[in-house]
Structure 1
Amino acid sequence: MRRFNLKLYLIFILVLLVRISNAHQETIRVGFIESPPLIYNKDEKLVGALVDYLNDILPNFNIKFVKTPLSRVPDLLDKDVIQIFPMYFYSAERADKVHYIPTSFHALNPCLCALKENKIPSTIRDPKSFEQKTIVHLRGTLKNRDFLNFKNTNYLELPTQDYYEKSLKMLKLKRAEYAYFADFQQVKRFLNNKKHSNIHCENSHYPKDEMFFVTNKNFYLKKNLELKISKTSFKTYLKKHLSRVNWQVD
């Protein structure tokens, strides 16, 4: 009986110590947009390669994920609503407002998709190829892209929620000639999974997009993050989740 009580006492002490430890863990607020397989909702829980990666490079912190529109990243960092945003592309304009962790952790292969009856231009730098055409793109992306400033091209922004399905629907309804996607491999998997046989995509002539972590300029963990990212490869985390995601954000 005494031995049984001792076991219960030890279990109680262990649980108490864990709770005390968790209570003293500092919370870091990380902004995100849902983007399988990087980060997405599954069974009412955020999962993905970035979730695992962040938990491993920041093991002593309680990470709180905050859904963040791309257009509001600098403002929310500045107001300390979020402290890190790990899904940002570089531009000189953005660099004036946020601090970029110098080492990119991931690169995307952007592409255009269209109905098979529509030929996709072999270069994105030719304004004539996009005259009187409409390009669907995800809200907050395409800024400073080479074909954004064409005067005779129409641009249609769509929200993050169900972007894959909505953008492809716009192509099928012929409300747009092209849809822009951030990563060629991701959209190929989505198309194969959903059996969109009348859609084709092209990315061989488009430059890669390096993806960075950003913080506000006074964030005290900047150097710590830089060191961890430079030493921890993201590829293994991505590979683990590529086979798990169903390529549609709920």
Structure 2
Amino acid sequence: MSSIIVFGAGGRAGRRVVTEALRRGHRVTAVVRDPAKHGDLGGTVVSGDVTDTATIAALAAGHDAAVNAAARLDVPAAEFFPAAARALSDGLAKADVPRLVAIGIGTTLEVTPGVAVHDAADFPAEYRAFSLGHAAQIDVLRAGGLDWVLLVPPPTLLDDTTGGTGSYRTGAETVLPAGAALFPYADLAVAVVDEIDRPRHHRAIIAVGPLAEPGNAEGGEADHGQ
């Protein structure tokens, strides 16, 4: 059993990660901005700011790994995501927490070498700043000494209505071929907790998505979770 702290535990991805980690018997600290709004969350629910180094260091002490699923829509993305990455890199190091599994956004993945989804000519301008903000955290993570992995789901809506399949596939930094259905948050959570239980990727950006269609082996390595 591991001790896992989840930042952004009140969001769609974070909730699923908490549920999956608890299902496997892990001890979970769920960090949200306002615990009173999240009485249905499992684990130990606490208030915290993912951009504050001292808060992270205090809350994360005694945990084996951290997950970052936090996002803010009321703060410019170019400020929030790099600030969170810096605070996590420094705070987790101070707390002696060796592993960070963070969740990215699919529009930062590449469609061709060196060209991200958000760089395409037809990409909606109103969403580009948010995607660029997400991407800005990568340089911060690379500059630090933490063992991290950024798991990035497809650049589409994710399915928040099903329990998932328990399966997924991984690739490199490029968009994986689309599956027949939307990728479930529940399967993204399986991939996140797998990277804590069985770390396979280190200081890397990893695309994660639904399994390939039958007969199509393209698109990375399949994994059926734990």
Q: Which protein, 1 or 2, shows the higher relative CO under an 8 Å CA cutoff with sep ≥ 6?
A: 1
Establish whether TM, by shorter chain, passes 0.5. Answer: no
TM-score between both structures, scaled by the size of structure 2: 0.34
Bigger CA radius of gyration = 1
